[in-house]
Amino acid sequence: METLDELLRQAEVAHGHLCAGQILGVRMARMACRMLGVEEPRGADRKRLVCFVEIDRCATDAIGLVTGCRLGRRALKFRDWGKMAATFVDLASGRALRVVALESSRELARERFPGVEPAAAQQKLAYRVLTDEELFAGQWVRVELQPEEMPGYRGGRVRCAECGEGVNFGRYERQIAADGSERLLCRSCACPELRYWRAVDKTVERA
């Protein structure tokens, strides 16, 4: 695997700037790869990892860069829990490591670099030099990956009985009517209250 400095340069280019979150993400992923024995996550070991990230912040971009895990490859899984944490699953061994950034690392940054302002600048300096033990807590966990969650899985496709849109990978709900008949609904039709969007018009004018 590349050195920390090399990966940080790549992360800066890919993300558009280098921030404390990027540094945490790079270091978190490097630590996980080392503990799992994944030496070339973007090379010879590129099909070994699946990664669950728990926040949609800068660190997630860095984790994807180091591990090579991508949403489009179905190797990056997003869980919107608002935590600076990620779980790295080694498909080859079945082992999984969850890594979370310690809240105490912010205070350590203030202690190590008291004359540096603002706090973001303190953290950028500190997160390069603090040990993994000072930055992170790691826990071995078990992750049960179902076949439909695996990279490369080719599942069936159904059509939502309500909106008519196609639904992949079993992401639908079965609705049983009073007469016993069954309909397959996409999740936004089955639970409209959970939609992140609201329709304002049925058509879109084309340019």
Structure tokens at 18: 């280098």
Per-residue pLDDT averaged across 84-103, rounded? 96
**Segments making up each domain of the chain, as ranges:** 4-147, 157-194
Instruction: Please state the pTM of the whole predicted model.
Output: 0.84
Q: How confident is the model at residue 178, as a pLDDT? A: 79
DSSP 57: S
Q: How confident is the model at residue 8, as a pLDDT? A: 95
Q: pLDDT of 137-174, one tens digit each?
A: 999 999 998 887 888 777 778 999 989 999 988 888 99
- Computed over every residue of the chain, the mean pLDDT equals 91
Cα angle 118-123-129, degrees, rounded to a multiple of 5: 140
Q: How confident is the model at residue 90, as a pLDDT? A: 96
Task: Give the whole-angstrom CA distance, residue 7 versus residue 26.
Answer: 7
Which residues have C-beta within 8 Å of that of residue 204, sequence separation ≥ 6?
A: none
**Which listed CATH number (3.30.1330.130, 1.10.10.60, 3.40.50.970, 3.90.740.10) goes with 4-147?**
3.30.1330.130
Task: Give the whole-angstrom CA distance, residue 206 versus residue 198.
Answer: 20
pLDDT above 80: residue 177: no
